[in-house]
Each structure stands twice: as C-alpha cells, then as structure tokens.
Copies of this chain bind each other. A is one copy, B any other.
Amino acid sequence: MILDLRSHAIEAPAHRDIVSPGEKVDHACLVVDGLVGRFDQMKNGSRQITAIHIPGDLCDLHSVVAPVAGWGLDALATSTILHIPHGELRAAAVAYPAIAMAFWRDTTADASILAKWVGNIGRKDAMARLAHLLCELGMRMEQAELGTRTEYTVPITQTQLGDVLGLTSVHVNRTMQALRRDGIVRTRNKTIHIDDWPRLLSLAEFDPRFLLVAPMDQQEAA
C-alpha cells in the first residue's frame, strides 16, 4: 500500500546524516537497503543510537505528527532510502481509519522497543545488553525475511554497536569475545551466527512480546 504513494529514492553513503537533529522534515523515510540509525547527540560529541532500522522499516513515521524532532537519522552503512511525503501519509490516515490505526500501532511498537532499551541500558550489564540486541535483531531480520533468527547479516561496526548499547567500542569488543569464547555466537564479516540460541535468550532475559509482532490479519486490515 505504502509503495503506491508518490515517493522518491535517495542513496546515502555510510556515516552520512540523513536527517540532522532539529531539522524540520516534510517526508518520512523508508529503508530500502542498508541500515539506518536514529541517534541523539551529546554536547561532548558522544552519540547514542536510539533505534536501528533494517530494510523494510519506516523510520520516520513520527515526523508526520511531529515534523521537528530532537533526533537525527544516520546511515550506519551505505543505504538507499525512500522519501515519502507527509501529505500522502496523512491523507491516507484521514481517509482510512484502519490505516491511521496501523500507523499508530507502528509508533507504539517503536515506543515499546524504546522502553525495553531504557530497561536494558539502565539495569543490565554489557553481556546481557549485547545478547538482547542480537536476539532482537535476529527476530526482526527473520520477520522481515532477510535471514533467520540465528543467522543474519547486519552491516554495523563495533563502535556503532557501542553507541546502541551505551558502551564503548572497546568494551563491545571484549564482550563479543566472551560470547564467542563461550561458543554462543560466531561472527564472520558482518554476519552473525548464533550457535546457542537458548543460552543467548536466557543471558538477555529476552521476551519477544515487546516487539509487538503484528498478527498478520491486523496488518492486512490496513
């Protein structure tokens, strides 16, 4: 449905800001390929990535109701992005209540993931956080049919992982080594191979409910 709307694609090289913090936008972004992160920037230069968007994700839906936000969007790897004008989305939402509900639901899913990450970063150690992220990405990649939960490819660096997890790249590295040493995951290039899914789940205290995976009929209703 969304793909029928007027829109145009752009290419962004890795590390390019797609939307700068505080910028006012008149379109939402759909990730076609690559990897996009929403980030918050501190005055001392450090960054916190507050959401990761894989291909198929709408990263900017909020901007329809709040065109100027405090955050920015950043291409974590070379990416291609579809720009969809707010007007089109708003018109669709007003015309069809089911679409409005679907947009609302998408925003809710986003909030749910954010709430989970507040908990992860506030109350879990580095190992559990990394494990949780690997579980989450696995579930989402599988759901998006870009891989399986135990084997998928994400073009992200350890420094960027640190910015997601609220850690330094150094500590991400050591934590990842620990996971490898225990035979729980393997990594080759940018692909993650999870050998001991149950153990990773339990390390992470991962409960997939928070992803709010839409039952298919819910999705179709739109």
Q: Is the CB of B166 within 8 A of A121?
A: yes
| Contact A70:B112 (CB < 8 A) given known A123-B46, A124-B42 | yes
Q: Is the CB of A38 within 8 A of B115?
A: yes
Chain B residues positioned under 8 Å from A70 (CB to CB): 112, 115-116, 207, 209-210
Chain B nearest CB from A44 CB (Å) reads: 9
Secondary structure dominating the interface of A: helix
The reply on A9 being an interface residue by CB < 8 A is no
Chain A 43-66 near chain B by CB (<8 Å), digits 1 or 0: 100111011000000000010011
Closest to A63 in B: B108
| One of B47, B62, B68, B122 near A48 (C-beta < 8 A) | B122
| Contact A101:B65 (CB < 8 A) given known A121-B122, A123-B42 | yes
Chain B nearest CB from A46 CB (Å) reads: 5
The reply on A94 being an interface residue by CB < 8 A is yes
Q: Is the CB of B65 within 8 A of A104?
A: yes
The reply on A183 being an interface residue by CB < 8 A is no
Q: Is the CB of B115 within 8 A of A40?
A: yes
Bound-complex Cα distance A165 to B119 (A): 10
Besides the known contacts A66-B112, A69-B209, A118-B118, 13 further A-B residue pairs in the complex with CB atoms under 8 A apart: A40-B123, A42-B119, A42-B124, A46-B123, A48-B122, A69-B212, A70-B207, A70-B210, A93-B97, A93-B100, A97-B97, A100-B104, A122-B165
Some 25 contacts from A to B, beta carbons below 8 A apart, are: A40-B116, A40-B118, A40-B119, A40-B123, A42-B124, A42-B205, A48-B122, A50-B118, A50-B119, A65-B105, A66-B105, A66-B212, A68-B209, A69-B209, A69-B210, A93-B100, A97-B97, A100-B100, A100-B104, A107-B107, A107-B108, A110-B111, A118-B118, A118-B121, A121-B121
